[in-house]
Every structure is written in C-alpha cells, then in structure tokens.
C-alpha cells in the first residue's frame, strides 16, 4: 500500500535456513537433565508403577543408565536417593556413606564427564516423610531444619556433586547452603534452587518413586499454593 510504513519481519522467516540462522532458542539433548532414582541395596532395576517405563536403580544399573544417557548426548543427571532405613532426623541424607553419596562417587569414577546434580531434601530420608524436622506439634521446624539441609549439601558436594538442588521449599535454605558450602571450601559448587515448587497432586507419581509421601498431613504449609501460580 502506497505510503504505508511497516517492517517486513517475514524476511527472516522465509526459509528453514534463514529461520535456523536467527533462531534464539533450540532444544537438544545437550540441554536436558535426566532425573534418576537410586535405591540403596537394590540389585538391578525395580520398575516404578506410577511412572511406566521408569525404574529405581541399583548402583551398577545407575552407571549403565548414565553411560547410555552420555552416549545419547545428555550431559547431566539429577539424583534422588531411597535409603534402606529412615529416622525422624533424616540422618541418611547427610551420611557421607549414604546412598546418593556413594552413587555420586561411582558415577564420577565411571562417567567422569557426566554433570551430577544432587537433590537436597529430607523427605526421602525421614520416617515421617516431611521435608524437615518436626516440632512437638507435628509442624515442620523451619529454622532447626536448615543446618541439616546445609549438612546434606556439603556431604553431596564432598562426594563430588557438581550442583546441589534444594527442593524442600523451606525459607532461608539457599542462604544457609551457600554459607555452608563456602565455609567448607566448596565455593565452586553451584546451587540449583527449586524456586517455585507447588503443593500439587501432580507430585503423586514422584512421591511413589522416591518413597517420600508424608505419613500424615500434607506440605501446604511450606510448598506454594497452586492457586497463586
């Protein structure tokens, strides 16, 4: 139309080659992280009913899976641990010989180029299934739980973890973890925080996979309200 001024953005959409040249975002296996569930004492694999096609892994199976992921171009794994025993303090989470700590060492020895991320939360390790210590009234004690989360992060990093990923949704845990890592000479360990984790029914399959469902109550007091998404 004569006299009409406008920009011709379609010039940059004219062909596959042109679109590829100016494309800002591309999703490839190199951008993926594979979540893996490692179970203490397991020999081989144990299918997860709530996640068809997925399994809990023993240490040898974990290494096999990591090698397959590496060969497929996936550079990183996120580890969740299922310990053989649990207690009220989740002490297996920060045990230097815990299931994830041993898994990290095994992976770093067998597949050293694999980036290893360790989940930081107590729910898989506590007998009650909540993400922190409990008060006498059965509420999660936020501030008393922070040192344990920090201890877990340091233990994972000492084992060789590249990134720690706090998923507990307790207030102040990132600052506590950063302080603990830096104070332990682990300042190069990165933190991947679950900044927005909702109290959602969609976590049902994960809780079965990680054996982390709370034995009473729910997590609405510390996970985010889905109505505020």
SS3 letters for 90-128?
CHHHHCCCCHHHHHHHHHHHHCCCCEEEEEECCCCCECC
Mean pLDDT of 101-107: 98
Tokens read off for 99: 């299931």
Cβ neighbours of residue 61 closer than 8 Å, sequence gap 6 or more: 42, 44, 45, 55
Report whether 167 contacts 120 (CB < 8 A). yes
Higher per-residue confidence, 173 vs 209: 173
Report whether 77 contacts 66 (CB < 8 A). yes
Residue matched to tokens 């950063």 = 178
Tell me the residue ranges of DSSP E strands in 94-215. Answer: 115-120, 163-166, 190-191
Q: 27-214, what's its fold?
A: TIM Barrel (3.20.20)
**Could you report the per-residue pLDDT of 42-96, keeping only the tens digit for each?**
999 999 999 999 999 999 999 999 999 999 999 999 999 999 999 999 999 999 9
Q: What is the pTM of this model?
A: 0.89
Residue 222, strand partner residues: none
pLDDT of residue 217: 58
């Amino acid at each position: 139309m004569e006299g009409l001024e406008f920009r011709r953005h379609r010039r940059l959409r004219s062909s596959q080659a042109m679109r590829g040249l100016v494309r800002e975002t591309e999703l490839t296996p190199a951008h993926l992280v594979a979540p893996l569930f490692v179970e203490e004492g397991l020999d081989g694999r144990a299918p997860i009913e709530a996640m068809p096609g997925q399994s809990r892994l023993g240490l040898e199976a974990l290494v096999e899976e990591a090698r397959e992921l590496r060969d497929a171009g996936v550079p990183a794994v996120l580890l969740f641990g299922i310990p053989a025993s649990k207690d009220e303090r989740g002490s297996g989470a920060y045990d230097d010989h815990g299931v994830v700590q041993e898994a990290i060492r095994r992976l770093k020895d067998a597949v050293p180029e694999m980036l290893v991320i360790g989940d930081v939360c107590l729910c898989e390790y506590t007998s009650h299934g909540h993400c922190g210590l409990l008060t006498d009234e059965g509420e999660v004690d936020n501030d008393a739980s922070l040192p344990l989360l920090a201890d877990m992060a340091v233990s994972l990093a000492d084992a060789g973890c590249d990134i720690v990923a706090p998923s507990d949704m307790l207030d102040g845990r990132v600052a506590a973890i950063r302080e603990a890592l830096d104070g332990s000479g682990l300042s190069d360990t990165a933190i991947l925080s679950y900044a927005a984790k909702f109290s959602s029914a969609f976590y049902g399959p994960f809780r079965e996979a990680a054996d982390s469902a709370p034995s009473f109550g729910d997590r609405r007091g510390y996970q985010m309200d889905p109505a505020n998404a």
